[in-house]
Amino acid sequence: MGPNWNMSSTTLGTGIGFGALNFSILFLLLIDPFLSINWAFILSVAATAGLILLAPQFQKIWVSHLPRTPKLFVFLITLTFSAQLVTYPILGFMVGEISLISLLANTLAMPTVAWVTVFGFLTLIFATVYAPLASFFIYLALPAAIWIEWVAETFAKVPFAQVTFSPLIFFVVISAIAIGVLYKTKRHNKIKNLRERQGIER
């Protein structure tokens, strides 16, 4: 039995998530306007937007075609792909380089990211309060951190793992693709609306 994706609840969740993201962006920019030119902030916003807007759509498409796929696997792949899809153009323009195997590497590393984040945060909190407890949290985070490091180092050694190019050329190519997609979408919607009108008139 495949996962049951409720479209109305998914849409509601997307709306709430995107609203929360917008509020967070405005709040942080009011505190520090220079974040608007900070690459790390821009990438974080783009990745979060991809998770909110694209991941639910990819999940529905995946499940509609492969309903027996394990739900955890669907989440890992679609979340990773959604985040990378919107950050690739930014990374390409920023450094003139993108990874061809980052989707697989990030999918393998993702399950342990939350583990490292939580215990790493607890380590920072207790480092100045009670050092022995901070050390305990470090040991808890260590296995997951070692796994992430191993994945990163191993996949970085794969031949042709990175593609290097001119950021300007990459920007032009991505812009052309985006314009093409927007044109196709607009035309598709126009034809769809025309057919709906004809159906109503009949």
Q: Residue 163's beta-bridge partner residues?
A: 98
Residues 112-169 have pLDDT tens digits of 888 888 888 888 888 888 888 889 999 999 999 999 999 989 988 887 777 777 777 7
Per-residue pLDDT at 11 exceeds 60: no
Residue 20 pLDDT: 86
Residues 41-90 have pLDDT tens digits of 999 898 888 888 888 888 888 888 888 888 888 888 888 888 888 888 78
DSSP 8-state assignment for residue 101 = S
Q: Between residues 126 and 187, which one has the greater pLDDT? A: 126
137 and 171 within one domain:
no
135 and 56 within one domain:
no
91 and 8 within one domain:
yes
Domain count, the chain: 3
Geometric angle at alpha carbon 120, from 81 and 18, rounded to 5°: 40
Give the sign of the dihedral formed by CA 192, CA 196, CA 198, CA 202.
positive
CA distances in angstroms from 189 to 36, 56, 166, 181, 186, listed in the order given: 33, 21, 35, 12, 5
The set of residues, in sequence order, having a beta carbon less than 8 Å from that of 112 and lying 6+ positions away, is 144, 145, 147, 148
What DSSP line would sit under 107-158, residue for residue? Answer: HHHHHHHHHHHHHHHHHHHHHTT-HHHHHHHHHHHHHHHHHHHHHHHHHHTS
154 and 65 within one domain:
no
> What global pTM score does this model have?
0.65
Domain finish residue from 66, 95, 124: 95
Domain that holds residue 150: 98-165
Inter-residue contact 167 to 95 (CB < 8 Å): yes
* Tokens linked to 71: 């739900």
Residue 95 pLDDT: 76
Domain finish residue from 79, 95, 111: 95
Which pLDDT band, with edges at 50, 70 and 90, does 9 fall under?
very low
Residue 104 pLDDT: 86
